[in-house]
Amino acid sequence: MQIQNNISLKPFNTFGIDAKAKHFVSVNNLDDLKHILSLENQPNKLILGGGSNMLLTQDFDGLVIRINLKGIKIISENEDTVIVQANAGENWHEFVLWCINNDFGGIENLSLIPGNVGTAPIQNIGAYGVELKDVFESCEAMELSTKNIKSFSKTDCNFGYRNSVFKQEARGKFIITSVNFKLSKKHHKLNINYGAIASQLKIMNVSNPTIQDISKAIISIRESKLPNPKEIGNSGSFFKNPVISKTHFNSILLNFNDAPSYPVSENEVKVPAGWLIEKAGFKGKRFGDYGIHKNQALVLVNYGNAQGADILKLSKLIQKTIKRIFGISIEAEVNIL
Ligand code: EPU
């Protein structure tokens, strides 16, 4: 394990922002992680997973610790289900493909989400009708203050929409080191109700889908809507979909009768932020090296050498405009550093 100085973080964040780390280290095992966390001459530390949910707006004047813990193994299984443990540094999509190749069901709808296994629980990643919490069994995390490993059950994690204990009370106090998933070995519970999945399967000529087919369908849908971070820097959805009262939504319908919404509770609905941003005229707009994606307005993009501060400025302009037009405050989903 070697601490490097003055390292560009461009390859380590999917937005492709060229911010610098004063010091940088990649950690491959728990002993090294313990050691590095104990370094008293490095008080300022930033933990980096897949770098897929962050916007770097400045250089980091401290030590960036990249969690590179690898390994996937079966912990236990019976006839119907299997518990698989994946270490935090495994790439999320590669882990999904490993499960699909083994015919383990449950996360096929989460195909092609950027990022790593260890950061997936923090924001309870979700797509196409499935959330991480649906297959989550438990996770282990190192407590920064004691360097002890603590186990978190699903209840401990207190999962919500793009939310968990790791964004609330436990924020900044733990590093997730591994995650256990409970997956099906047979009678897979398929989720094909969301949006375009059924029509994509039809295009693929599949009438009796397997989890492999669903994964392929999701990959096609995502590829058609979302920019590939290897080609155009981005962090997926930049904002969360806001929840507003039905009364508020009805007042919006008076002016925009095509406004979409999803029920949340008796008095509340969720409105797709992508729709709000599109209606506000931002979709596909480009300002120099950054802008709003042409196929999904919820995604802000870096076309090359954008600065994090530029993208942050754009996000604030979008928030202000949405507030002015619709009276809705939209919240960033990515972590701004
Ligand atoms: N819409 C527009 N214009 C747009 C984008 C969306 O009008 O430019 C409207 C359409 O009415 C569309 C609806 O929004 O039917 C929903 O769009 P989509 O299915 O693309 O989903 P989303 O709500 O915009 C969420 C997640 C995505 C996830 C998709 C699919 C959040 C913040 N985002 O987006 O997650 O892939 O659902 O399940 O909840 C991510 O978190 O990084 C991410 C990509």
The secondary structure of the chain in percent helix, strand, coil, rounded to multiples of 5, reads 30, 30, 45
Q: Tokens 């978190």 — which residue?
A: 152
Q: Are strands 126-127 and 130-131 parallel, antiparallel or unpaired?
A: antiparallel
Q: What does the pLDDT read at residue 195?
A: 75
Residue 202: what pLDDT? 95
Residues contacting residue 113 through CB under 8 Å, at least 6 positions apart:
52, 92, 93, 96, 120, 125, 127, 236
Strand-pairing partners, residue 66, are 26, 48
Does the annotation mark 66 as catalytic?
no
Q: Which two tokens stand for residue 62?
A: 């401290």
Asked if residue 127 has its Cβ within 6 Å of ligand 1, the reply is yes
Query: How many angstroms is it from 298 CA to the middle of ligand 1?
Result: 7
Asked whether 283 lines ligand 1 (CB < 6 A), one says: yes
pLDDT given for residue 42 in this prediction: 79
Supply the pTM of this predicted model: 0.93
First CA to last CA across the chain, in angstroms?
25
Query: pLDDT tens-digit profile of 174-214?
Result: 999 999 999 999 999 999 988 799 999 999 999 999 999 99
For the question of residue 286 being annotated catalytic, the response is no
Joined tokens for residue 192: 């094909």
CATH level 3 topology of 4-67 = 3.30.43
Q: What is the rounded CA–CA span in Å between residue 46 and residue 63? A: 6
Out of 164, 237, 261, 315, pick the active-site residue. 237
Residue 144 has pLDDT above 90, yes or no: yes
DSSP-derived letter for residue 165 is: G
Strand ranges of the sheet holding 72-77, from the earlier edge strand across to the other edge = 72-77, 81-87, 174-184, 136-143, 149-153
Our answer on whether the CB atom of 242 is closer than 6 Å to any ligand 1 atom is no
So what's the pLDDT on residue 232?
96
- The answer to whether residue 15 scores a pLDDT higher than 90 is yes
The CA 71 to ligand 1 mean position distance, Å, reads: 32
Report the nearest-CA residue for atom 4 of ligand 1: 274
Q: Using one digit for the tens of pLDDT, what is the confidence trace for 259-276?
A: 999 999 999 999 999 999
Q: According to the model, what pLDDT value does residue 111 have?
A: 97
Q: Which of 90, 111, 162, 261 is catalytic?
A: 162
Q: Could you read off the pLDDT of 203-253 as tens digits, one per residue?
A: 999 999 999 999 999 999 999 999 999 999 999 999 999 999 999 999 999
Find all residues with CB under 8 Å of 192, minimum gap 6, and list them: 198, 201, 209, 214
The preferred substitution site among 55, 298, 318 for testing ligand 1, maximizing ligand atoms within 8 Å of CB, is 298
Mean pLDDT of the chain: 96
What architecture is domain 233-336? Alpha-Beta Complex (3.90)
Specify the residue with its C-alpha closest to ligand 1, atom 6: 274
pLDDT at 1 exceeding the cut of 80: yes
Domain 72-225 has CATH 3.30.465.10: yes
Of 121, 149, 102, which Cα lies nearest the Cα of 49? Answer: 121
Mutate to test the pocket of ligand 1, among 192, 275, 318 (most ligand atoms within 8 A of CB): 275
3-state SS assignment for residue 177: strand
For atom 5 of ligand 1, the residue with the nearest CA is 274
Domain map (residue ranges) of the chain: 4-67, 72-225, 233-336
Mean pLDDT of 2-20: 96
- Ligand 1 contacts CB of residue 274 (under 6 A): yes
Of 267, 284, 277, nearest in space to 241 by CA: 277
In sequence order, the 6+-apart residues with CB closer than 8 A to the CB of 123 are 53, 162, 163, 164, 167, 333
Relative to beta strand 72-77, strand 81-87 is antiparallel
User: DSSP labels for 90-156?
Assistant: SBHHHHHHHHHHTT-BS-GGGTT--SBGGGTTTTT-EETTEEGGGTEEEEEEEETTT--EEEEEHHH
Is 291:301 a contact under the CB 8 Å cutoff?
Answer: yes
- The region of weakest confidence among 29-43, 162-176, 315-329 is 29-43
A 10 A CB-CB count for 154 gives 17
Whether 331 is catalytic is: no
| 269 burial type by CB count under 10 A (0-12 exposed, 13-18 middle, 19+ buried) | buried
The pLDDT value recorded for residue 194 is: 86
* Banded model confidence at residue 40, pLDDT cuts 50, 70, 90: confident
